[in-house]
Amino acid sequence: MARALQAIEKLQAKVSELQQASTEPIAIIGLGCRFPGGANSPATFWQLLHQGRDAISEVPRDRWDADAYHHPEPATTGKIVTRYGGFVDHLQEFDANFFGIAPKEAISLDPQQRLLLEVAWEAMEHAGVVPEQWSGHPVGVFVGISSNDYSRHLLQRPETDIDAYLATGNSHSAAAGRLSYSLGLIGPSLAVDTACSSSLVAVHLACQSLRNRECDAALAGGVNRLLAPEFSINFSQARMLAPDGRCKTFDAAADGFARGEGGGVVVLKRLADAIADGDTVLALIRGSAVNQDGRSGGLTVPNGPAQQAVIRQALQRAGLQPEQIGYIEAHGTGTSLGDPIEVGALGAVFGDSHTPEEPLYIGSVKTNIGHLEAAAGIAGLIKVVLAMQHETLPIHLHYHQPSPYIPWAELPVKVTQQPQPWQSGESPRFAGVSSFGFSGTNAHVILAAAVDPKAKNEERRAWPARSRTKNEERTWQLLTLAAKDSGALRSLVQRYADWLPETQGTLADICWGLHHSRSHFSHRLAIVASSRQDAQSQLA
C-alpha cells in the first residue's frame, strides 16, 4: 500500500509538471521591425504610434506606375481603385556580404528574405544576443510569409536567364531555412502561410515548440513586400480596397483596407530560462490559440462564432478570465462586413465582464500603417508590447463616426480615440491580439505586461547587475563599435552620435551592451568617455 501511494504521488507530480509546462509563460526578450512611415526600429515605431501618425503614402515609382494603374471605378478591369498604401523604403539596398551571400545570388533573392534577415538580426541585437553565440544551438525559426511578387517578376525573364538561385531565393520554406542557415540555428525551422494571420500563427507555433522543449529560444514573426500590381488589381476587383488608401476601422466610412508592407520579428524564451539568463523581459505571452472558420458565409467571409471560440480558447490556455483583459488589438481591416462581425464576437466574449465605466478598449494598428497581410499580426503584437512598456494605449486613427452596423450602446467596448493611460496598478495588465486570415484561419494571442515596465524600457538594456556593478562605478567608460567594412562603421558611428542625446540609458549600460552584446567585426572603433555627452561629441 505504501509503495502504491508513493507511485501515485509521483504520477500526480508528473501530471502537474506536464500541465505547468504546457501553460508556461513565454518571455518576449527582443523586438525587430521595419514598418511604413520610417518605423525602422521599436523606438521609431513607438514614436509613430504615440504621435498618431498616418504612414500611408502614394505607391513608389520602384513598385508600379500608380498613374497608369489607378482608376476611381473599382469595376474597371486591369485597374486599381487606389493609388496609396503603406511602404517601406530601401527596396533594392541589401548588404549581401554582411550575410555571406554572393552578389549574383542576392539578385535572385526575394526582398522578403532580405528584409527578414535584417530584421531578425536587429531583433537579436535588441535582445542583447550576439548571434554567433547561438550558432549550433536549438533555436527555432517560425516565419509568416505569403506573397510571391518577386518570383513572378523573375519568371517574366527569358528562360535562359534562370540561374541556380531562383528556387532557394523565392520559396517560402527557404525564407525560414536561410535564416536558420545564416545564423547556424538548429531548432525547428518553418514557414507559415495562412494569409493575413500568418505571423500570429507563427508566434503561436513558436510558443508551442518552446513549451514542448523542441527549442530553447525562438525567432518568430512575419514579412510582406508589395512589388507588383496584380494582387492589388485582384483586391480592387473584389471591392476589398479603400479608394483613399486608409483603413477606417470601426468607422461609418469603412470601405476597405489599405495594403501595406513590412516585417517584424520577436525573440522568445521560456520565462524561467529568460530569468536565469538575465534577459530583459519586455512582455509575456500567456496563451494563444488557432482555429478555422470551417463552413461559413463564404471562403473569405469572417465567422463570428469561430472568432469567439479562438479567443475563449486562448483565455483558457492563459488561465485568465475575460474581465482581466483590458485591451484588444483587433484584426480590424476596416470593412463594413468584417468590423461588425469582429466587434460582435468581442461583445459575446467580454460583454458580461466589462461595463461602460470600465470598458474593453479596442484599436487597430492598420489605421496607422495599413494591412501588412502576412506581417499584420506581428505588427499588432509589437504595438501592444510597446504600449505596455510605455503604459499608454495609442490613438486609433480615422475614427470619426461610429459604424451604424455595430450596436455600440449594447457593447461595453470603447475605441481608443485619444491616447489612453494604461498604467500598472494592483492587477497585472493583459491584452489580446487578433489576426484572421481570409482563408479562414484565425489566431489570438494573450499578452501580459512585464513586472516593471519603467525599469525595462526598450531603449535601456537591463543586463545582469553582477556584470555591471564595477562598470557603473567607473568614472570613464570604454565605448566600442564594430562593423564588417569601413563604410558600415562610419554609418554606425553617425547613428550612435545621433542616438546618444536621445536615449535615457546610462553610459555604463550602453558601453556594457555594445561590448558584450554585439558582434565584434573586423572594422572597429573605440573611444573613452566620461558621459553620454562626451561620447556623442567624440563620435560626431
Q: What residues act catalytically?
A: 196, 331, 371
Task: Supply 139's cell numbers.
Answer: 533555436
Q: Which amino acid is at 233?
A: I
Decide: 121 and 488 in contact? Cβ < 8 Å: no
> Are 33 and 379 contacting, i.e. CB atoms less than 8 angstroms apart?
yes
> DSSP characters for 150-184?
HHHHHTTS-GGG--TTHHHHH-HHHHHHHHHHHHT
Q: How many CA atoms lie within 13 A of 215 on its CB side?
A: 28
Picking from 264, 133, 199, the residue whose alpha carbon sits closest to that of residue 441 is: 199
**Coil, strand or helix: which one is 111?**
helix
CB contact set of 56 (below 8 Å; sequence gap of 6+): 36, 84, 85, 86, 245, 246, 258, 260, 369, 370
> Which 8-state DSSP code applies to residue 296?
-
Sign of CA dihedral 266, 270, 273, 275: positive
CB 127 within 8 A of CB 268: no
What is the SS3 assignment for 57? Answer: strand
- Which of these, 210, 211, 231, lies nearest to 219 by C-alpha position? 210
* Pairing, β 420-421 against β 430-436: unpaired
User: Which grid cell sits at 14?
Assistant: 508528473
- What distance in Å separates the CA atoms of residue 393 and residue 313, rounded to the nearest whole number? 25
Q: Give per-residue burial for 42-69: e unless 16+ CB within 10 Å, then b.
A: bbebbebbeeebbbbeebeeebbebeeb
Residue whose entry in the numeric block shows the C-alpha cell 455600440:
408
Query: What are the phi and psi torsion angles at 165 (to 5°)?
Result: -110, 5
Is-contact 380 433, C-beta < 8 A? yes
Using alpha carbons only, what angle is made at residue 42 by residues 285 and 263, rounded to the nearest 5 degrees? 80
Whose cell is 461559413? That residue is: 296
Element (H, E) at 361: strand 360-363
Residues 140, 187: contact at Cβ < 8 Å?
Answer: yes
* 366: CB partners within 8 A, 6+ apart: 247, 249, 257, 258, 260, 332, 333, 334, 372, 376
Residue pair 362/413 in contact by the 8 Å Cβ criterion: yes
Q: Is 245 in contact with 283 (CB distance < 8 Å)? A: no
3 state SS of 466: helix
